[in-house]
Amino acid sequence: MDYTTLLQELNKASLFDLHRLQSAIYQELQNPARIDQIKAQLKIGQSISYFDPESNKLIDAVILKIKRTRCLVKHVHDQKNWNLPFYYLNLDNSDTDIQPPKNAVGIPKSSLKVGAKVGYKSKYNEDVFGEVLRLNQKTATVKVSERTTWRVPYTLLFQIIDGELGDLSEPTYLSHEPSVED
């Protein structure tokens, strides 16, 4: 499924239309036949990925236990256990990335992931670079040094391109917008 195109279409819908659609989607998420289809594909010890809405990215995990409507998984990175609904699981290896519109100012929240390298202009018109720690309602929390974080509006962020080879003293960036008040 092309989430970018779907999101573009949803942006045309009214809040009521979105609410009605949310209700229909919730009913499908709870559909016992769909849950049984997922459960039939799962095995204890199976490596899977799941979509984490908080970090807006896929997380690698291993299935520990299969329950009636959820499964217990162990996060590969931090070894923590999570009890997830089956609809979080990405068994089809779907591409979950949402590309920002070509005319977007900044980086839309739906396109940004926790851990992404970003930059913005400071109030002194200097480029500031960091890593996204959290996605808030109107801002991203960006860690710019060991002890410094800033909440930066999504409209002021620009993506950083990591170099593949060599030691880059300054990261390169795609584009940037007006300054943020630090």
Q: How many Å apart are CA 26 and CA 145, to the nearest integer?
A: 41
Report the pLDDT value the prediction gives residue 103, as an integer from 0 to 100.
Answer: 80
How many beta carbons lie within 10 A of that of residue 54, not counting itself? 9
| 3-state DSSP assignment of residue 56 | coil
Give pLDDT, residue 175.
Answer: 42
Please give the full DSSP string across 149-162, using - where no structure is assigned. EEEEEGGG-EEEEP
* Per-residue confidence (pLDDT) for residue 176, from 0 to 100: 43
pLDDT of res. 101: 79
User: Looking only at Cα atoms, what is the longest distance across the chain?
Assistant: 57
Which three-class secondary structure state does DSSP give residue 130? strand
What gap in Å lies between CA 75 and CA 165, rounded to an integer?
A: 30
How many C-beta atoms lie closer than 10 Å to residue 56's C-beta? 20
Q: What is the dihedral of CA 80, 86, 89, 91, to 10 degrees?
A: 130
- Looking at residue 98, its pLDDT comes to 86
Distance CA 134, CA 140 (A): 6
Strand ranges of the sheet holding 127-135, from the earlier edge strand across to the other edge: 148-153, 139-145, 127-135, 117-121, 158-161, 172-173
Q: Is the pTM for the entire model greater than 0.75?
A: no
Domains of the chain and any CATH numbers: 3-88 (2.30.30.140), 109-173 (2.30.30.140)
pLDDT of residue 100: 81
The three-state DSSP-derived secondary structure of 77-113 is: CCCCEEEEEHHHECCCCCCCCCCCCCCCCCCCHHHCC
Encode the chain (182 residues) as per-residue pLDDT tens digits. 888 888 888 989 999 999 999 999 999 999 999 999 999 999 999 999 999 999 999 999 999 999 999 999 999 999 999 999 999 999 999 998 888 878 888 999 999 999 999 999 988 999 999 999 999 999 999 999 999 999 999 999 998 886 443 333 444 444 444 444 44
